Each structure stands twice: as C-alpha cells, then as structure tokens.
Amino acid sequence: MKILVTGGAGYIGSITTAELVQAGHDVVVFDNLYQGHADAVHPEAAFVQGDLADQAALKRLFAEHRGIDGIMHFASYTLVGESMEQPLMYLRDNLVNAANLLEQAVAHDVGRFILSSTANLFDDPERMPIDENERIVPGSPYGESKFFVERLLHWFARIHGLRYACLRYFNACGDTPGRGEDHDPETHLIPIVLQVALGQRRHITVFGDDYDTPDGTCVRDYIHVVDLAQAHILAMEALDQLGSRKYNLGNGSGFSVLEVIETARRVTGHPIPHVVGPRRPGDPAVLIASSETIRRELGWQPRYTELEDIIRSAWEWHQAHPHGYAK
Ligand code: UFG
C-alpha cells in the first residue's frame, strides 16, 4: 500500500515508517519538523516538509503524491502537562490540523485512516484494566483534542464512507537501534531517567507520591514503540475487512514511577537519584490497558512484554545517541 505518515519524523511516526518500509509499503512522510528530526525519516520514504495548518501545502502534497491508499496520522501536540497550560494549542490546533488533513483525504478518495489516539481519554475509569467500553472522560485538553478527532472520524465515516481505526496508546516507550525518543524539551519519564544515568541531569523528580496506589506514585502501562508500530500496520491492513475500529493498546500491566526508576537502575547500573516533587496537573493515578480486543481481532501480540527489555532498548539508543539526532 501507499501510506501517508503525518509526523513521520517524530518518535512513534519515524519508527512506524521504518516498520512500514520493511514490510514492503510505499511511504510518504509529511512533517513540519517542530518536534521531528529529518535524520529520523527512513531514507526509502519520500519526505515532504510541511505543516498541516497550511492548506495549500496539503493540497500540493496530495497533488504530487497521487494514489495514497491510507493515512497514519501521528502529527500532533502530545503533552498532557503542556495542554493544561496552553489549552488552545491543543483544542484548536490538533482539531483544525486533523480537519485539514481529512478534507484533503476525502477530496482525493483516500478511504483508510489510522489515528494516534490516547489513554488520556480515560481520566476516571470505572474498571481496570481499561477496555474500549470504558466511558470517555478526557483528562486534559490534550485528551479532549484526540476525542474531537475521534468524533471527526465518526462523521467522516458516516458521511464519506471513510474506514478508520483509533489506536489509544498507553505509555509509548523504548527505542530501536536506528531510531529513538528525542524531544526538546524532554518530559517523558523513561528518557529523563536515562538522562540521569548518562550524567546529563542530577536527579529525576517524581511528580507526587501521595496517589492512591501501592507506593503512592502514578501507575502506567508501558508499551514498546515497535509493538505500537505493528498495531498500526495490522489495523491498516484489516480496515477493509473489519471496518472502523477503536483499540486500546498497552501491555496490560502497570508499573509505578518508582518501579520504573528501580528497573532503570538495574538496567543501567547507575544509582539514578530521585527526589519527590508536587503532582503534575492532569496526571491520573492509574492507567492500565486491556488490549484483548486487538489481540483477538487482529492477532496483535506485543514482542516486548517485560519492562526491563523495553528500558534496555531505550538505554542502548540513548547511549549510542547521548545528544539525540544531529538534525
Ligand atoms: N513523571 C515523573 N517525573 C518526570 C516525568 C514523568 O514523575 O519527570 C511521571 C508522570 O507524572 C507520570 C509518569 O511518570 O505519572 C509517566 O509520565 P510521562 O510524561 O512519561 O507520560 P504520561 O503518562 O504523562 O503521558 C503519556 C503520553 C501521552 C499519553 C499518555 C497516556 O505522553 O501522550 O501517556 O497514558 F496521553
């Protein structure tokens, strides 16, 4: 298939692009390089630098790359904490950018669409682990913006016959030898912990130890980025047969912030000092996924089920790229 990957120079998008190329697909990457890195784009993918807010650039993209069979939409603002400080950047831009993309998709008869959605739809879950029937209570403007896009897709499916899958990721992490996580500023737990191990930070600050969890720190479900990438490919390939779908994507087990730090100490052999700070606004106490639906319907099986293996893959990339990508 010929696949357009928005955000294909970013962390999850670039690794999914590489997996798509390896699986024999043709890939066009569209990325504004706001967070992405040109060096992360697989050399066999076509790369177009551009912004989803720029409708003329999008029109040119579709005019120059005809015959796109499906879109994987990663490009977006993605930080829970930032969205609590700059809500419109999320509520407006994530929605408008997705709407611009969908407008061009239907104008060019692109019938398949995979959305990077999020566990931040489930701020107040009634059951744990969280399955697709859980009620949606976005935990932040970020989560709300993804819910807006899920609703856009619902209407585009109904009115234009689009087939789509919403993949609600829990905590994406881990790296591959060639590509890894490089955000500026970095806000995610595992890369920050590894920066401490590399001597680039003095300590990790734990955001709150008074949550209603066994050790008082937040519990998350960490899923390797390659397993996420494989879920995208399976979902894209199954859309014609199964129709539109929503899948929660995680490993099904939760680890506290302190457990992540302890595991990283074992993997790196570094003491990784930590201090406890205040809670970060927008953080729910516990998020653990039930991914039974995607396992059953698509035969998805994560390769990385052990937190230690996930952190080791990240440690290898961070050691080899202590300052991230060159560009
Ligand atoms: N944390 C710390 N200290 C830090 C960084 C993070 O204690 O310096 C804690 C957070 O409070 C949280 C956990 O580590 O409890 C994980 O935080 P991350 O920032 O790594 O990830 P989030 O859980 O905030 O968010 C990630 C993605 C979101 C997605 C969410 C879904 O960034 O896009 O997972 O669970 F919505």
- pLDDT band of residue 124 (cuts 50, 70, 90) is confident
The token pair at 161 is 């016959």
User: Based on the domain organization, do 215 and 83 belong to the same domain?
Assistant: no
Residue among 258, 233, 250, 270 nearest 310 (CA) = 250
8-state DSSP, 127: S
Query: What residue numbers bound the domain in which 112 lies?
Result: 2-173+221-249
- Per-residue pLDDT, 327: 85
Average pLDDT value for residue range 70-93: 96
User: Based on the domain organization, do 132 and 110 belong to the same domain?
Assistant: yes
Encode 309-324: b = buried (16+ Cβ within 10 Å), e = exposed.
ebbbbbbbbbeebeeb
**Under 8 Å between Cβ of 190 and 129:** no
- Read off the pLDDT of residues 202-253 as tens digits, 9 standing for 90 and up: 999 999 999 999 999 999 999 999 999 999 999 999 999 999 999 999 999 9
- Could you tell me if residue 297 is inside a domain? yes
Q: Is 167 in the pocket of ligand 1 (CB under 6 A)?
A: no
Alpha helix (H) residue ranges in the chain: 11-22, 55-64, 80-85, 87-88, 95-107, 141-160, 189-197, 225-242, 257-268, 292-298, 307-320
Q: In the listed set 202, 230, 249, which residue is the last one of a domain according to the structure?
A: 249
Percent of the chain with pLDDT over 70: 100
Q: Is 188 in the pocket of ligand 1 (CB under 6 A)?
A: yes
- Read off the pLDDT of residues 1-38 as tens digits, 9 standing for 90 and up: 999 999 999 999 999 999 999 999 999 999 999 999 99
- Could you tell me if residue 27 is inside a domain? yes
Q: In the listed set 202, 233, 249, which residue is the last one of a domain according to the structure?
A: 249
- Read off the pLDDT of residues 254-274 as tens digits, 9 standing for 90 and up: 999 999 999 999 999 999 999
User: Ligand 1, atom 14: nearest CA belongs to which residue?
Assistant: 189
Cα 100 from Cα 266, distance rounded (Å): 46
Percent of the chain with pLDDT over 90: 97
User: Based on the domain organization, do 120 and 209 belong to the same domain?
Assistant: no
- Could you tell me if residue 178 is inside a domain? no
Dist. CA 289 → ligand 1 center (Å): 15
- pLDDT band of residue 175 (cuts 50, 70, 90) is very high
Dist. CA 249 → ligand 1 center (Å): 16
Cα 261 from Cα 258, distance rounded (Å): 5
User: Based on the domain organization, do 230 and 210 belong to the same domain?
Assistant: no
- Could you tell me if residue 158 is inside a domain? yes
Q: Is 153 in the pocket of ligand 1 (CB under 6 A)?
A: no
> At residue 196, does pLDDT exceed 90?
yes
Q: What is the CATH number of the domain that holds 11?
A: 3.40.50.720
> At residue 288, does pLDDT exceed 90?
yes
The atom number, within ligand 1, closest to the CA of 217 reads: 15
The token pair at 254 is 């939760």
Name every residue whose Cβ is closer than 8 Å to that of residue 199 and which is 6 or more positions away in sequence.
none
User: Based on the domain organization, do 95 and 207 belong to the same domain?
Assistant: no
> At residue 85, does pLDDT exceed 90?
yes
**Under 8 Å between Cβ of 67 and 231:** no
Q: Is 220 in the pocket of ligand 1 (CB under 6 A)?
A: yes
Q: Is 189 in the pocket of ligand 1 (CB under 6 A)?
A: yes
- Could you tell me if residue 316 is inside a domain? yes
**Under 8 Å between Cβ of 258 and 229:** no
Strands 219-220 and 255-256 come out as: antiparallel
User: Ligand 1, atom 19: nearest CA belongs to which residue?
Assistant: 188
Dist. CA 188 → ligand 1 center (Å): 6
Q: What is the CATH number of the domain that holds 300?
A: 3.90.25.10
User: Based on the domain organization, do 162 and 199 belong to the same domain?
Assistant: no
Establish whether 142 is a catalytic residue.
yes
User: Based on the domain organization, do 132 and 198 belong to the same domain?
Assistant: no
Beta-bridged to residue 274, according to DSSP, are: 204
Exactly one of 90, 142, 164, 222 is catalytic; name it.
Answer: 142
- Could you tell me if residue 183 is inside a domain? no
Total domain count for the chain?
Answer: 2
- Read off the pLDDT of residues 34-50 as tens digits, 9 standing for 90 and up: 999 999 999 999 999 99
Dist. CA 94 → ligand 1 center (Å): 19
> At residue 182, does pLDDT exceed 90?
yes
User: Based on the domain organization, do 210 and 227 belong to the same domain?
Assistant: no
User: Based on the domain organization, do 216 and 268 belong to the same domain?
Assistant: yes
For 292, how many CA atoms within 13 A lie in the half-sphere containing its CB? 7
User: Based on the domain organization, do 29 and 167 belong to the same domain?
Assistant: yes
Dist. CA 278 → ligand 1 center (Å): 14
> At residue 59, does pLDDT exceed 90?
yes
Average pLDDT taken over every residue of the chain = 97
- Per-residue pLDDT, 254: 97
Cβ-based neighbour number of residue 216 at 10 Å: 16
- pLDDT band of residue 282 (cuts 50, 70, 90) is confident
- Per-residue pLDDT, 163: 98
- pLDDT band of residue 281 (cuts 50, 70, 90) is confident
User: Based on the domain organization, do 134 and 261 belong to the same domain?
Assistant: no
- Could you tell me if residue 182 is inside a domain? no
Cα 79 from Cα 2, distance rounded (Å): 29
Cα 319 from Cα 299, distance rounded (Å): 34
Q: In the listed set 249, 269, 286, which residue is the last one of a domain according to the structure?
A: 249
The token pair at 312 is 């080791």
User: Based on the domain organization, do 169 and 288 belong to the same domain?
Assistant: no
Q: Is 260 in the pocket of ligand 1 (CB under 6 A)?
A: no
- Could you tell me if residue 327 is inside a domain? no
